[in-house]
Chain A
Amino acid sequence: MATTHAGESTGGDAGADTGRRRGGVREPRACRTRTAPVVLAAVPAAFIGVFFLYPLVGVLTRSFDAGTLLETWRNPVTTEVLWFTTWQALASTGLCLVAALPTAAVLARLRFRGRRLVHALLVVPFVLPTVVVAAAFLSLMDRFGLADRFHHTVWAILAAHVFFNYAIIARSVAAYWSQLDPAPEQAAAVLGASPLRVFGTVTLPRLAPAIGAVSAIVFLFNFTSFGVILILGGPRRATLDTEIWRFAVQRLEFDTAAALALLQLLCVLLLVAGATIWQRRRHVAERLRTDTARRVRGAADRLLLAGTLGVAAAVVGLPLAMLVERSLRSGGTYTLENYRRLGHSGERLQALFVSPLAAIRHSLEFAATATAIATIGGLLVAVSVSGRRRRGAAALEGAFLMPLGTSAVILGFGMLLVLDRPPLDLRLSWWLVPIAHALIGMPFVIRSVTPALAAVSPRLREAAAVLGARPARVRREVDLPLALRGLAVGAGFAFAVSLGEFGATAFVVRPERPTVPIAIFRLLGRPGEAAFGQAMAMSVILLAMTAAAVLLIDRLRPAGAADF
């Protein structure tokens, strides 16, 4: 990290570094003394320590066996699984970047009618149960006569990962991008650079912090992919996550599961460390604006808008349309019957155990609580690490990524294993579910806010200080408004994560308090046309809940924060 102080004397006001690959404008040392104390992060750090590290260490030590570890790690099958896990995650993340960056550009740079709605709709795939997405994908492929060639191939896995994670990249990058001053790009264009060259040499390096932050999340999601691999990838393919699950709950060989979980942990640690170092080196002071989008004007803009929305519609819209269509089909005709039945399932659908409406209520309660925890905790972490270049701060930020890269089964077991005695006797507690969800939601908040905070030009803070503002006020009036857009994006994702989470929830939820995804799984666990139809209707309701929640969270941003 020694090199990070290079060049920090350059003025912060010159806008972004426009050409060089690295370097750029560093934050003056003097400013760092004014950053918030690390103490702020103590509460979220304690949270992750108690509810993530402690359970993880507990379950791994309970099942650890050195002999099995060596044997498992040396097994060529393990190498094969590790290789497949890694390359499919890399390929999925790369494809997702290619598909989502143009959308991010349009969302960031163009102001058009329905921009907020597009933002919200992009998030909804994220919450869908894999088995429902698989059904939608297969019926879509069936329309094109490709189902047989698509089913149980690696292409199905990649397509599903792009579908699920598209919004994470598009939204998070767009949030940052829209705050970047377009002047350097304009200057480059005036100097004769082609649009592609402007993007490659000016925009992309400036976006690197945001892209790096969010790619790490997407990679971890793909790295720990479970349902997609089992259902769409077919029985021949396995990732570390599916193998951990198989050894832990099918074979009950906990020592092998622990050996694989340690391997997964190690890989994730390496990735997180690498990503954190890479990202810290790319932090560049920027003159952030609240929103730099401009109105759509001219044929070129319209073409760009139509093309990008077309890609988004193909990637996200088509499978969703298939799902909505299926939810409206009942008894051979189009009707609202599947939805109507959700209201009074007590008579014939006893199998669900708890009414679908109650499941919606449980989901909303869990999600609201989890989002509150994740947002407050995430903001505290982001504020206390931003502007800090010390290893401790980087490690802290990286630590919060770890739950994303951990097997839900392992974490679920760990929680039940160690949170079993007062004062932390939580095994029967309602709180376990929102706590588990908040662990996954918090990195979204941190990663959405940190790039903006880190990029706040020191001159802006200095100007405020010169004008007499105390540090706390500088933070409130300079940093906070600029962080709010990222915060809204992060909170929206935290909410969506909670609405859609299944793996950990299934372990810690009480059966009489199912969430919507669990209710969908229960419906899909029964034969019968009506059960299937209701599962599809329930999925569409989950979509609508997510879109509504994301729109609402966007609206909650106080005046002064940017408008989409």
Chain B
Amino acid sequence: MVTHDSFAVTEGIIESFEETTGITVNLLTGEDTGSMLSQVILTKDNPIADVVFGIDNTFLQRALDEDLFVPYRSPAVDAVPEELQLDAQNRVTPIDYGDVCVNYWIDATDGTPPETLEDLADPRHAGSFVTQNPETSSPGLAFLLATVAAFGTDGWEDYWAGLRDGGVSVTAGWSEAYFGEFVAGGGKRALVTSYATSPVAEVLFADPPTDTPPTGVLTDGCFRQIEFAGILAGTGNLPGAQAFVDFMLSDTFQEDIPLNMFVFPASSTAQVPEVFATHAVAVPEPLSLDPALIAAERDNWTRRWVEIVLR
């Protein structure tokens, strides 16, 4: 299986699959989702793996257009909510999902964190907001798409002009924003584009240990990312690949996902660990866009975004 560098699994989980099926699993990784997908596309004549995991809905259409996959509907997909099943032809299987949301450092917002995207554009907040360049960062792109979904293809540009005038800061990637400019790593900015599940990690990796996360989540304007697995056309081991996709939707694998990758399992039969259920913020109305529209407009939007925010 080829995947991205955020992939993680507790020791023993994949081994349990290997023991029951007699199939050996080799893992390969790209640097991030984009480079993983590039690897898969470039090597599609002699596929680098049997299964790819980690393609999200922002890259989905691009992957489908390349005819990379053998359709497969795992019986376990019946337990996956329909809104996560974006491909009617079952070329890809939803495995997990999470929401990209603006986070705030509770102590740095004077008790009045923004509650809506419009609040965020208020100079008081925009000046202490750091986000990522959508041309180089996955959460950065997701947040741009959230604003497109929220304000429409006509309104998002004005919204960003407001953020720019308010003093929004932009970094290349998530780490530089979160640990560089956000309060968490010693920076000064109180608001950052991150995930609805980031507070879980803030509790789990707190120092000193704590039961209350120092961060909160702005639940308006969150973009839902769904991650898919697909069986690569040209696989030499179709039954093995199908068995592994089934396994990824089994409760064993699904229940291991939250504390390793900080996203929600796609299967409704999987139980979420308590610490995760307590601190992951539920987003009532996550935003999304049609993958086909994303594929068609993405480059235009990011180009316009650069002109508005960076130039």
Residues of chain A whose beta carbon lies under 8 Å from any beta carbon of chain B: 59, 62-63, 131, 134-135, 138-139, 230-231, 234-236, 246, 248-252, 254, 326, 330-331, 337, 346, 348-353, 409, 413, 416-417, 420-421, 427-428, 506-507, 509-512, 518, 521-522, 524-533
**Nearest CB on B from A107, distance (A):** 34
Contact: A349 with B205, CB < 8 Å?
A: yes
**Highest count of chain B CB atoms <10 Å: which of A353, A528, A529:** A528
Q: By the criterion CB–CB under 8 Å, are A527 and B8 in contact?
A: no
The answer to whether A529 and B42 touch across the interface, beta carbons within 8 angstroms, is: no
A509 to B206 alpha-carbon distance, docked (Å) = 30
* Cβ contact within 8 Å between B178 and A235: no
Check: B48 CB closer than 8 A to any chain A CB: yes
B207 within 8 A of A: yes
B184: interface (CB < 8 Å):
yes
**Are A416 and B39 in contact, CB atoms less than 8 angstroms apart?**
yes
User: Residue on A with the closest CB to B174?
Assistant: A525
Using CB atoms, name the residue of chain A closest to B31: A506
Chain B residues lying within 8 Å of A416, measured Cβ to Cβ, are: 39, 42-43, 48
**Which of chain A's residues have a CB closer than 8 A to the CB of B48?**
416, 420, 427
Whether B9 is near chain A, meaning CB under 8 Å from some CB there, is yes
Contact of B27 among A131, A413, A512, A533 (CB under 8 A): A512
Please state if B184 and A527 are interface contacts (CB–CB under 8 Å). Answer: yes
Do the beta carbons of B172 and A230 come within 8 Å of each other? yes
Docked complex: B237-263 residues within 8 A CB-CB of A: 259-262
Once the chains bind, are B205 and A352 in contact (CB under 8 Å)? Answer: no
A330 to B186, CA, bound (A): 12
**Which single member of B26, B205, B260 contacts A528 (CB below 8 Å)?**
B205
A348 and B204 contact, Cβ closer than 8 Å, known pairs A134-B176, A353-B9, A427-B48: yes
Partner of B205, one of A252, A353, A527: A527
Contact between B3 and A511, CB atoms less than 8 A apart? yes
CA distance A366 to B143 in the complex (A): 39
B28 and A510: CB pair below 8 A?
Answer: yes
Task: List which B202-243 residues lie within 8 A (CB) of chain A.
Answer: 202, 204-208, 215
Residue of B nearest to A333 (CB): B208
**With A131-B176, A331-B207: A351-B8 Cβ-Cβ less than 8 Å:** yes
How far is A427 from B26 in the complex, measured between Cα atoms in Å? 11
When A249-B32, A512-B27 are in contact, do A254 and B42 touch as well, CB less than 8 Å? yes
Q: In the complex, which residue of chain B has the Cβ closest to the Cβ of A355?
A: B11
B35 within 8 A of A: yes
| A413 in contact with B39 (CB, 8 Å) | yes
User: In the complex, A236 Cα to B170 Cα: how many Å?
Assistant: 9
Asked if B21 is an interface residue, CB under 8 A from chain A, the answer is: no
Quick check: B174 and A529 within 8 Å, CB to CB? no
Residues on the A chain within 8 Å of B184, using CB: 527-529, 532
Residues of chain B from 166 to 182 with CB closer than 8 A to chain A in the complex: 170-176, 178-180
B112 interface contact, C-beta 8 A: no
Q: Nearest B residue to A236 by beta-carbon distance?
A: B310
A-B contact pairs, 19 of them (CB 8 A): A131-B173, A131-B175, A131-B180, A134-B176, A135-B185, A230-B173, A235-B135, A235-B136, A331-B208, A416-B43, A417-B42, A420-B48, A421-B46, A427-B48, A506-B29, A510-B28, A522-B5, A527-B198, A527-B202
Nearest CB in chain B: distance from A415 CB, A:
11
CB closest residue in chain A, given B3: A511
Cβ distance B202 to chain A, nearest Cβ, rounded Å: 5
8 closest pairs, A vs B, by CB?
A: A528-B205, A230-B172, A249-B34, A249-B35, A529-B207, A530-B205, A353-B8, A506-B31
Q: Complex formed: what's the CA distance from A519 to B109 in Å?
A: 33
Would you give the shortest CB distance from B58 to chain A, in whole angstroms?
A: 10
Q: Name the CB-closest residue of A to B175.
A: A524
Within 8 A of A (CB), among B184-198: 184-186, 194, 198
Contacts of A507 in B (CB 8 A): 30-31, 35, 39
- Docked Cα-Cα span, A135 to B3, in Å, equals 28
Q: How far is A522 from B260 in the complex, measured between Cα atoms in Å?
A: 11
Query: Could you say which of B31, B194, B261, B299 contacts A527, with CB atoms under 8 Å apart?
Result: B194
Q: Are B205 and A531 in contact (CB under 8 A)?
A: yes
- 13 further contact pairs, Cβ within 8 A, besides A254-B42, A525-B5, A532-B179: A135-B185, A236-B310, A248-B38, A331-B207, A348-B204, A350-B260, A351-B262, A353-B9, A353-B260, A510-B28, A512-B27, A527-B184, A527-B194
Q: How far is the CA of A325 from the CA of B175 in the complex (A)?
A: 20
CB of B243, distance to nearest CB on chain A (Å) = 20
Contact of A420 among B6, B41, B43, B133 (CB under 8 A): B43
Q: Kindly provide the distance from the CB of B302 to the nearest chain A CB, expressed in whole angstroms.
A: 8
Residues on B with beta carbons closer than 8 Å to the beta carbon of A352 = 8
Kindly provide the distance from the CB of B311 to the nearest chain A CB, expressed in whole angstroms. 8
| Chain A residues near B31 (CB-CB < 8 A) | 249, 506-507
- Chain B residues contacting A252 (CB-CB under 8 Å) are 34, 37-38, 41, 62
Rounded to whole Å, the gap between the CB of B68 and the closest CB of chain A is: 12
Bound Cα distance from A249 to B206, whole angstroms:
33
* Interchain CA distance A446-B25 in the complex, whole Å: 40
Q: Tell me if B76 is interfacial: C-beta within 8 Å of chain A.
A: no
B10 interfacial by beta-carbon distance below 8 Å: yes
Query: Are A427 and B179 in contact (CB-based, < 8 A)?
Result: no
Distance A428 CA – B26 CA, assembled complex (angstroms): 8
Query: With A and B bound together, what is the CA distance between A484 and B85 in angstroms?
Result: 63
Given A139-B186, A532-B184, A249 and B38 contact (CB-CB distance below 8 Å): yes
Bound form: Cα–Cα A185–B204 in Å? 64
CB-defined contacts of B174 to chain A, threshold 8 Å = 525
Nearest opposing residue in chain A for B14, CB measure: A512
State whether A351 and B260 are in contact (beta carbons under 8 Å apart), knowing that A416-B42, A511-B3, A524-B175 are contacts in the complex.
yes
Q: How far is the CA of A24 from the CA of B299 in the complex (A)?
A: 58
Chain A residues whose C-beta falls within 8 Å of the C-beta of B260 in the assembled complex: 350-351, 353
Query: B206 touching A528 by the CB < 8 A rule?
Result: yes
- Considering residues B3, B35, B201, which has the most beta carbons from chain A within 10 angstroms of its beta carbon? B35
Residues of B contacting A138 with CB < 8 Å? 180
B29 near A510: Cβ-Cβ < 8 Å: yes
Task: Report yes or no: B179 in contact with A235, Cβ–Cβ below 8 A.
Answer: no
Q: A250-B135, A252-B38, A331-B208 are in contact. Are A527 and B5 (CB under 8 A)?
A: no
Q: Is the pair A527, B178 in contact by a Cβ cutoff of 8 Å?
A: yes
Residues of A within 8 A of B205 (CB): 348-349, 526-531
Least Cβ distance of A344 to chain B in Å? 14
Chain A contacts of B180 at CB under 8 A? 131, 134-135, 138, 231
Whether B29 and A529, one on each chain, are in contact in the complex, defined by CB atoms closer than 8 angstroms, is no
Residues 287-309 of chain B, each 1 if its beta carbon lies under 8 Å from chain A, else 0 = 00000000000010000001000
Residues 132-163 of B, flagged 1 when their CB comes within 8 A of A and 0 if not, give 01011000000000000000000000000000
Give every chain B residue within 8 A of A417 (Cβ-Cβ): 42-43
> Which of A134, A413, A427, A525: most chain B CB closer than 10 A?
A525
**Docked pose: A138 CA to B205 CA in angstroms:** 24
Q: How long is the Cα–Cα vector from A409 to B202 in the complex, in angstroms?
A: 32
**C-alpha spacing A29/B219, complex, angstroms:** 79
Contacts of B201 in A (CB 8 A): 351, 526-528, 531
How distant is the Cα of A205 from the Cα of B215 in the complex, in angstroms?
60
